[in-house]
């Protein structure tokens, strides 16, 4: 029963294919119902078949294609020009960079000195700092010595004054004590 039904269905499909209603290959002889109505595909359009020349739509389409091609060419040319300009700029920058490098190498101050020279400079700087520190220490020592000498001289003078008039010393001390008490408010 099932086989019979399948055979019938296959037969119906084949008939539909022949009529052009359903699928199948569309050869030159057997086009589908809508196949003949289509225009502009596969070569000539309806107006061309009738000998009237191309239709308005077809002409416009061709013009658009032509304009597109021209525009594309224009774009390509612009891109090429841009590439050339960029290339020139790049070359110019490279030349400047090379010139800068060469000038820095030729002048001894700008060029980077060898390692030995750098070491020598560092050592000289260290030595200079040491010298400065030593000088500062010496100055401080001299200052201390001078202050000590001055202090000793003052002490000497006091002793001399004290030895001349020993009787007056206690009186002076009493007066100074009274003054200090007065200043304190007692």
pLDDT band at 118 (very low <50, low <70, confident <90, very high): confident
Q: Which one of 112, 145, 177 terminates a domain? A: 112
User: How would DSSP label each residue in 117-139?
Assistant: HHHHHHHHHHHHHHHHHHHHHHH
pLDDT band at 186 (very low <50, low <70, confident <90, very high): low
Total tally of structural domains belonging to the chain? 2
Query: pLDDT (tens digit, 9 = 90+) per residue, 59-107?
Result: 777 888 888 888 888 888 888 888 887 777 888 888 888 888 887 776 6
Q: Tell me if 37 is assigned to some domain.
A: no
Whether pLDDT at 18 is above 70: no
Nearest residue to 62 via CA among 45, 37, 38: 45
| Cα–Cα distance measured from residue 73 to residue 79, given in angstroms and rounded to the nearest whole number | 10
pLDDT value, residue 60: 76
DSSP 13-36: HHHHHHHTSS-S---SS---TTTT
Residue carrying the six token digits 């499909």: 13
Residues 103 and 126 in one domain: no
Q: Is 3 helix (H, G, I), strand (E, B) or coil?
A: helix
The arithmetic mean of pLDDT across residues 172-176, rounded, is 55
DSSP-assigned letter for residue 111: S
Q: What global pTM score does this model have?
A: 0.26
86 is in which domain, residue-wise?
A: 65-112
Q: Write down the mean pLDDT value for the chain.
A: 73
Burial code of 64-86, b = ≥16 C-beta within 10 A, e = fewer?
eeeeeeeeeeeeeeeeeeeeeee
């Amino acid at each position: 029963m099932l086989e019979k039904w399948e055979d019938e269905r296959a037969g119906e499909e084949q008939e539909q294919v022949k009529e052009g209603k359903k699928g199948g290959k569309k050869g030159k002889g057997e086009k589908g119902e809508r196949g003949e109505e289509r225009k502009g595909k596969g070569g000539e359009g309806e107006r061309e078949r009738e000998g009237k020349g191309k239709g308005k739509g077809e002409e416009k389409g061709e013009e658009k294609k032509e304009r597109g091609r021209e525009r594309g060419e224009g774009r390509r040319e612009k891109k090429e020009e841009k590439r050339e300009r960029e290339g020139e700029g790049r070359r110019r920058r490279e030349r400047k960079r090379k010139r800068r490098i060469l000038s820095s190498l030729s002048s001894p101050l700008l060029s980077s000195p060898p390692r030995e020279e750098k070491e020598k400079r560092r050592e000289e700087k260290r030595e200079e700092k040491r010298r400065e520190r030593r000088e500062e220490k010496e100055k401080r020592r001299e200052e201390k010595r001078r202050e000590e000498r001055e202090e000793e001289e003052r002490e000497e003078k006091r002793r001399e004054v004290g030895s001349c008039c020993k009787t007056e010393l206690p009186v002076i001390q009493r007066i100074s004590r009274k003054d200090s008490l007065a200043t304190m408010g007692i």
